[in-house]
Structure 1
């Protein structure tokens, strides 16, 4: 049963690459006192400044059970502020604090450092993203 050999599976190289990439982030994020999921939240907030918990969860493909404790830890670090919407109290808005905004400058070099750490050219980075993103978007539309 050739189809059940690990070397013939798509899942394993994708899984192994994900672990490799995440492990390369750790030293850079450690300097910022952020975990990888916290960094992803901060990237979105640096881009949008304020987002709802629901929008963050959708963008990161995380459920609220995973996202809420992560946001509580970022709030404890005084990087974000959580506030209930005045129009609909079920909606929780997440916004950057001054400290959260300032952290953006410290993180600015991470993408370049990651590219170098992994030994990738700009073309390889672009090629990987061009291959992966359509698959993720196709899956996102099915959900």
Structure 2
């Protein structure tokens, strides 16, 4: 098959990815009134709390400063609490509140969890192929300079 005949498949697959992330986002927001990144943070905390901000950021593949913004919004909704660690007063531990646990219990899956779970099941060769393909896509779009933001799905 000619490359010119395969380009539409690449474009369609990108559209499918954006569409899936959007659909997961809308579903999560309908069920929980929370955007995907906030719900993802709650789901991680439900499995592993208490967590330090840096630990949560690492598991979300985001910078700690970005996660602090997510936690600010979750704390304002009384879904998480932040407390100074008893062992290290400079560190902050994050945990779910009762209301946060209730949200997680009724929440649908988020796109980020599906991506992480799916990527972790790939063989090394499959993962390397995805990694290299994504690097090429970023380069083709001239997006190397952009700071990654949380998926809204």
TM-score, structure 1 as length reference = 0.66
* Shift, 1:67, TM fit: 0.8
- Could you say if the C-alpha distance between residues 14 and 82 of structure 1 is closer, same or farther in structure 2, counting changes exceeding 3 Å? farther
Aligned to 1:135: 127
Partners of 2:37 and 2:12 lie apart in 1 by: 21
Partners of 1:51 and 1:15 lie apart in 2 by: 34
Partners of 1:102 and 1:35 lie apart in 2 by: 16
Count of equivalent residues: 120
CA contact (8 A) 1:22 1:36 kept: no
Partners of 2:123 and 2:56 lie apart in 1 by: 20
CA contact (8 A) 1:80 1:96 kept: yes
Partners of 1:103 and 1:95 lie apart in 2 by: 14
Higher relative contact order (CA 8 A, sep 6+): 2
TM-score, structure 2 as length reference = 0.62
Partners of 2:37 and 2:74 lie apart in 1 by: 10
- Could you say if the C-alpha distance between residues 13 and 52 of structure 1 is closer, same or farther in structure 2, counting changes exceeding 3 Å? farther
**Structure 2 residues without counterparts, runs of 5 or longer:** 132-153
- Could you say if the C-alpha distance between residues 96 and 131 of structure 1 is closer, same or farther in structure 2, counting changes exceeding 3 Å? same
Aligned to 1:43: 43
**Structure 1 residues without counterparts, runs of 5 or longer:** 115-124
Aligned to 1:121: none
